[in-house]
Structure 1
Amino acid sequence: MALSPDDYRRASGFRRSMAPRASAGPALSGPIVAYDTHSLSDPALLEMMRGDGGRVGVTGIAVNERLALRNSTFFRATALQCGSMGMLPIHLRRRDGRNSEKATDHPLFNVLHRKPNDFQTASRFKSYMQLCALFDGNAYALKIKSRGAIRQLVPLPRRRVKPRLTDTFDLVFDYDRPSGGRVTLTTDDVFHFGTPLTLDGINGISVLDVAADTLGLAVKAQQAAARLLTKGSMAAGALETADELGSEAIQNLKASLRDDYAGSGAEHDWMILEQGLKANPFGTNARDAQLVEVMKREAEEVARFTGVPRPLLMFDETSWGSGIEQLGLFFVTYCLMPWFVIWEEAIWQWLLTPVEQQTYYAKFNEGALLRGSLKDQAEFLKAAMGPNASYLTPNEARDFMDRNPLPGGDDLPRPGTSAAAVMQEEDQNAA
């Protein structure tokens, strides 16, 4: 039975305010509430009861999403993946024999490319769904239909949907509504995709689950560094003597150090010591050096879990050089390309009818991440329109550079023919 948009909103727990709220009177007329309330079915309640509310690893630290995002390497990797997926446009295309074109007349085209729902842009929707898949292993959105066509995709609240197979091997989704109660949704109601790896064929594996030990150890290393900075010794060295110094000698020594050997100009000066004083500089001990190595190692481990290349995670010791284009190609091919396929297949499977699946398909435009410098683009277009093996028309090349078409620019260049000869031949054909 088809549900109306209002039924979908009631099933998902989303409500619209029909009138503005009335003023509550003076600001201090009522008690100040300094706590949050949760329903018994709210996943946030379980997290609150568990303390930090996260995955407990070998370090004993419960790693949740907020703690994980405080790790600079993990935050950078997450922001790169989610930001890239949100930035890249996705188009619904129509295949007609050997030709393909954008299906701009299909209602789903505008949903995917411009306006997925009433409160999110396309980039924000894609970024959020990508983050849900990374952190939870799965991402879910409710289909809002009108006249048989999908008009909106509304993300379902996180950790409230559980997919399962029925006895007849039909996939359904048990959804716990924020207002209370559970409703079972079918594949006609839900748009769903997950991470590439799965242990049961349905639920994807969360990055936070597999990286909990690494992130927890990184937190321990940061806590140890914080204790060193707050409680450890930060002096450069000590002055030692077997004799006893009087208070006047100590004051003179402090004044000499402050006036003669402080500041940026005294890095390599030699001190003149009196009364048998000997300098004993402090060096980095093995424990401090080991702490630095642990922090560096955990940053590399986070990079392996996320699949983002090291230079993109701002590892300074890695040289970029002239390989920036190959670096971008590596990021797209080995980190984002699996997600392109997952998104495109999920759109084809969950958002198109069996009849539409014969003609329509979704396609990410990853060319925005693979474009090189203006010089490289000019060389590519020159080769694409070359006289010997041209496969781009002048107008297609101008469209590639976001420029308007020119009259007569829809024909491929003919090999071995000058522009003047082409114009003369056209004049003769017109006569």
Structure 2
Amino acid sequence: MALSPTDYIRAAGGRRSYAPRVQAGPKLSGPIVAYDGYDLSDPRLLEAMRGDGGRVGVAGIGVSDRLAMRNSTFFRALSLISGSMGMLPTHLMRLKADGTREKARDHPLFNVLHRKANDYQTASQFKSHMQTCALLDGNAYALKVKSRGAVRQLIPLPRRSVKPVLSDTFDLSFQYQPAKGRARILSKDDVFHFRAPISLDGLTGVSLLDIAADTLGLSHRALQAAGRIYDKGTMVRGALETDQELGEEAYGRLRDSLRENFTGIDAEEDFLILEEGLKAKVLSGTAKDNSLVEMRKLEAEEISRFTGAPRPLLMFDETSWGSGIQQLGLFFVTYCLLQWFVIWEEAIWFCLLTPVEQETMYAKFNDGALLRGSLKEQAEFLKAALGPNTGFFTPNEAREYMDKNPIAGGDDLPRQGTTAAAVQKENEDDDAK
């Protein structure tokens, strides 16, 4: 069965190698309750007492995780950033003595970052989850499960259960409050921590929910107002007025005619034939209704600014993709994701590698999946990369870029003034001799 982070912590016993402890199954005796119970030290209890996360902005409404993610623009930005960080491959790289670089496939951490983070999460799921925590809370924490001095698993710690503590002698540790029981102090060697780029104390990152609470609250209020219009507001297109008094027969005939002949899509743009001196009066939207629409658009733009996601990627209907899709992807990677690449890579280097390994090893995100463009653009790129005069790709590197198997004699760069085919023919002639 899957073990909680507390089990790994208890099993550690101060040792550097963690051995999971098996818990006994729950007893079935006793009454069954239909409510959640909280220990007095449980951080979720304080969260529940505050109500909606405790982030009350100018709109007078508490902004919780669920309320924020009900906002379509915020949810799209959150899923876009977290999904992109999760899907991009992360490789552990090694700098060799001759100055060349290689993927450190023989290191246990390589598989943790690239394939399987723990017993219940793939690397993609782990990175997406941690990225979501860092966006919502400003911080993400994971317990390092080690064996023989190397990290074998990364177990995400529950949100809002960890607090960094810096002593008077500037020694860093982490206070972990489990769902049940007393708080525990974890060494910095036991915790993987990365945070949002903005920090006010140098230890913890600024929560996106905190800084965007006013915008999210106003957006929710505007949505509630729109809902009240559809629920209780007047939805008629217009009114019929006359100076004369309509009889029961004329009133009934007019009502039936409107319902039978001038409703639904078939009656679009038809003209009413009025009688008894009736005049049609069209009702237009009020200034209040019009300002509500503008406010909803403004709040969507504000959320785009807070998250850094480009407007077209947030599905704004007044923007178009057109021929600038490659530039749009470049904008997203450069001005939104690039800072997160650096934060992830530095956190992996700082928290997951030993001082000796830090001399020659580092993590690298492969952002090429977001920047490849169309097949035509890739073909032009590879043509330039394999050029005889300025080429910087070997044939096998180009094949690896396209997920193809290497070929014999494809590990040399083309010689100046010759083509790759000519070089290969020369090699074949040399082998024949």
Q: TM-score range by the shorter chain?
A: over 0.9
1:63 aligns with: 63
Q: How does 1:16-55 map to 2 (within 5 A)?
A: 33-55=33-55
Deviation at 1:186, TM superposition (A): 1.3
C-alpha distance in 2 between matches for 1:68 and 1:33: 30
C-alpha distance in 2 between matches for 1:325 and 1:364: 19
Q: Which shifted more, 280-289 or 244-253?
A: 244-253
Cα separation, partners in 2 of 1:227 and 1:7, compared to 1, 3 Å: closer
Q: Which of residues 419, 423, 426 in structure 1 aligns to 2:425?
A: 423
Cα separation, partners in 2 of 1:80 and 1:428, compared to 1, 3 Å: closer
Q: Which shifted more, 419-428 or 298-307?
A: 419-428
Q: Which shifted more, 72-81 or 95-104?
A: 95-104
1:27 aligns with: none
2:76 aligns with: 76
Deviation by residue 1:273-303 (Cα, 9 ceiling, x = unmatched): 1001110111111110000000100000010
Taking structure 1 as the reference length, the TM-score comes to 0.93
Q: How does 1:353-368 map to 2 (within 5 A)?
A: 353-368=354-369
C-alpha distance in 2 between matches for 1:272 and 1:136: 62
Q: Which shifted more, 264-273 or 148-157?
A: 264-273
Q: Describe the SS at the equivalent of 1:63.
A: coil
C-alpha distance in 2 between matches for 1:362 and 1:421: 35
Q: How does 1:317-356 map to 2 (within 5 A)?
A: 317-356=318-357
Q: Describe the SS at the equivalent of 2:146.
A: strand
Deviation at 1:394, TM superposition (A): 1.4
C-alpha distance in 2 between matches for 1:265 and 1:5: 65
Taking structure 2 as the reference length, the TM-score comes to 0.92
Cα separation, partners in 2 of 1:37 and 1:428, compared to 1, 3 Å: closer
C-alpha distance in 2 between matches for 1:307 and 1:156: 27
Counterpart residue type for residue 234 of structure 1:
M
Q: Describe the SS at the equivalent of 2:95.
A: strand
C-alpha distance in 2 between matches for 1:159 and 1:135: 11
Deviation by residue 1:340-387 (Cα, 9 ceiling, x = unmatched): 000100111111111110011000011111110000000100111112
C-alpha distance in 2 between matches for 1:422 and 1:391: 17
Deviation at 1:149, TM superposition (A): 1.4
Q: CA RMSD in A?
A: 2.2
C-alpha distance in 2 between matches for 1:19 and 1:160: 24
Q: Describe the SS at the equivalent of 2:189.
A: coil
Contact 2:409 2:427 in 1 (8 A): no
C-alpha distance in 2 between matches for 1:151 and 1:424: 47
Q: Describe the SS at the equivalent of 1:91.
A: strand
Deviation at 1:173, TM superposition (A): 0.7
C-alpha distance in 1 between matches for 2:53 and 2:81: 25
Deviation by residue 1:29-73 (Cα, 9 ceiling, x = unmatched): x86632111111222211222233330111110001111000000
Contact 1:54 1:64 in 2 (8 A): yes
C-alpha distance in 2 between matches for 1:313 and 1:424: 53
C-alpha distance in 1 between matches for 2:12 and 2:51: 31
C-alpha distance in 2 between matches for 1:302 and 1:424: 60
Counterpart residue type for residue 237 of structure 2:
A
C-alpha distance in 2 between matches for 1:22 and 1:43: 26
Q: How does 1:26-425 map to 2 (within 5 A)?
A: 33-96=33-96, 97-417=98-418, 419=421, 423=425
Cα separation, partners in 2 of 1:248 and 1:164, compared to 1, 3 Å: same
Contact 1:8 1:144 in 2 (8 A): no
C-alpha distance in 1 between matches for 2:23 and 2:7: 13
Aligned residues with identical type, % of pairs = 66
C-alpha distance in 2 between matches for 1:32 and 1:99: 63
Aligned length: 422
Deviation at 1:162, TM superposition (A): 0.8
Unaligned residue ranges in structure 1 (runs of 5+): 25-29
Counterpart residue type for residue 181 of structure 1:
R
Contact 1:11 1:183 in 2 (8 A): no
Contact 1:5 1:146 in 2 (8 A): no
Contact 2:112 2:153 in 1 (8 A): yes
Deviation by residue 1:147-183 (Cα, 9 ceiling, x = unmatched): 2211111111111111121111011111112221111
Cα separation, partners in 2 of 1:332 and 1:424, compared to 1, 3 Å: closer
Q: Describe the SS at the equivalent of 1:238.
A: strand
Deviation by residue 1:182-213 (Cα, 9 ceiling, x = unmatched): 11111111111100000111110000000000
